[in-house]
Amino acid sequence: MPKGFYSTLIAITAFTLIAVAVAWGQSSESGSSRAVREAPGEFQFVRLAYSANRYGRGGWGRRQMWQTDWPDAEHHFLKGVSRLTRVAAAEQGRILTPLDDNIYDFPWIYAVEVGYWHLNDQEAARIREYLLRGGFLMVDDFHGTWEWSSFVASMQRVFPDRPIVDIPEDDEAFHVIYDLDQRIQIPSRMFIYSGVTWERDGYTPHWRGIYDDAGRLMVSINFNMDIGDAWEHADWPDYPENMTALAYRFGINYLIYAMTH
């Protein structure tokens, strides 16, 4: 070995580790914990960075499940909100963990692939408090019996005593801005290749929810569908435009509902 090879290797390794650590730190700061003093808009799309079960953890270059569709889904959706409503929406989304104190500054949060989430008691208590204070949670993109049971397991830690019910057809959530009378399963992009709209055994879409004591929807549960994919691939020519439009409409209705009820 040339003279000084090891010392150079150690220096490069140390430098790389420091750089990675700094980058990681900056990334996590920008994602969650920095104090939010100045808001870029009235509505900011917040993606919930939840704790996942052992099947939902990322690793070796794979994204974590809560990151699914990020960042194009919110980027496209926010543009749609600005174009189609009078909501002053921020251009960029934001990522927060359940235990981030800043979560109370954002009364609307979005969680994806919640079949893989695993909320501990502390996180569940935080989500419960957030929702009872007036926050709104939209969950999306989970399919089949197994993911449902996994979702419910954590949700019951949030609200042990509140049932999950089908949202009635006449609920304002389906009419506040668009009358969403048709129940069409919004598929993921895999539909383009496979031609099927379902995943696993989630053949039938369900629009479910959890209500507060005053009859207001706190959690909208979009089961056996993938609204996030429809937002994300809104600019993809092969993805059905009508599915994207419908996904926008559901998202906007949930948002306007959350801002009015």
Partner 1 sequence: MFEFLFKYPRDDYARSELIYTGDWPPWLLALLIIAALAGISWFLYRRRDFARPPQMLAVWLLQLAMLAVVIWLLQQPTLSTEQLRAGENVVAFVLDNSESMAYGESESRLQQAMRSLSATLADDSSLELSVQHYELADRARLVSSFLESEASGTGTSIAASLTDVLREARFSPLAAIVLSSDGADTTGGLSFSDLAEIAGFGVPVHTIAVGRESIPEDIELTDVMLPNRALPGSTITARVSIRHDAAASTRLKVYNGDDLLESLPVDLQPDTKNTTVWVNIKLADAGHHHIRFSVDGIPGEQELRNNSRSTLVEVADQKYRVLYFEGEPRWEYKFMRRALNDDEDLQIASLLRVSPNKFYRQGIESPEQLENGFPTTRDELFVYDALIIGSVEAASLTDEQQAIIHDFVSERGGSLLMLAGPNGLGNGGWGQSRIADVLPVRLPPSTTNSFFRKKAAVVLTPQGADEQMLRLADTADASRKLWSKLPEVADYQVTGNLKPAAVTLLQVMTDIGQLPLLITQQFGRGHCYILASGGTWRWQMSMPVEDQSHETFWRQLLRAMVAHAPNRISLTASGDGGSTGVSLRAEFRDDAFRPIDDISVTAIVTHQDGDSWSIDLLPSVDEPGVFQADVSPTASGNWYFEAVAERNGEPIEVARASIHYESGQAEYFNFRRDSLALQRLSEATGGRYLEPDELDALPDLLRYSSSGLTETNHRAIWDAPAVFLLLLLLKGGEWLLRRRWSTI
- Give me the residues that bind partner 1 (CB under 8 A), please: 37-43, 84-88, 104-105, 107, 129, 132-135, 176-177, 214, 216, 255-256, 258-261
CB of 261 to partner 1, least distance (A): 7
Which parts of 134-215 fold into alpha helices (H)? 144-158, 190-194
Residue 261 CA from chain centroid, whole number: 21
Question: Looking up tokens 């893989």, which residue turns up?
Answer: 116
CB of 178 to partner 1, least distance (A): 10
Q: Which is nearer to partner 1, 135 or 205 (CB)?
A: 135
CB of 131 to partner 1, least distance (A): 9
CB of 63 to partner 1, least distance (A): 30
Residue 30 CA from chain centroid, whole number: 18
Q: Which is nearer to partner 1, 62 or 83 (CB)?
A: 83
**Do the bridges between strand 206-211 and strand 217-223 make them parallel or antiparallel, or are there none, so unpaired?**
antiparallel
CB 113 within 8 A of CB 142: yes
Give 38's Cβ-side CA count (13 Å radius). Answer: 0
CB of 25 to partner 1, least distance (A): 25
Q: Which is nearer to partner 1, 25 or 134 (CB)?
A: 134
Q: Which is nearer to partner 1, 39 or 153 (CB)?
A: 39
- Gap between the Cα atoms of 111 and 252, Å rounded: 16
Q: What is the length of the chain?
A: 261
- Gap between the Cα atoms of 225 and 195, Å rounded: 14
CB of 225 to partner 1, least distance (A): 24
CB 78 within 8 A of CB 249: no
Q: Which is nearer to partner 1, 175 or 206 (CB)?
A: 175
Q: Could you count the other beta carbons within 10 Å of the beta carbon of residue 210?
A: 19
Q: Which is nearer to partner 1, 145 or 260 (CB)?
A: 260
52's CB contacts (< 8 A; 6+ apart) are 64, 65, 66, 116, 117, 118
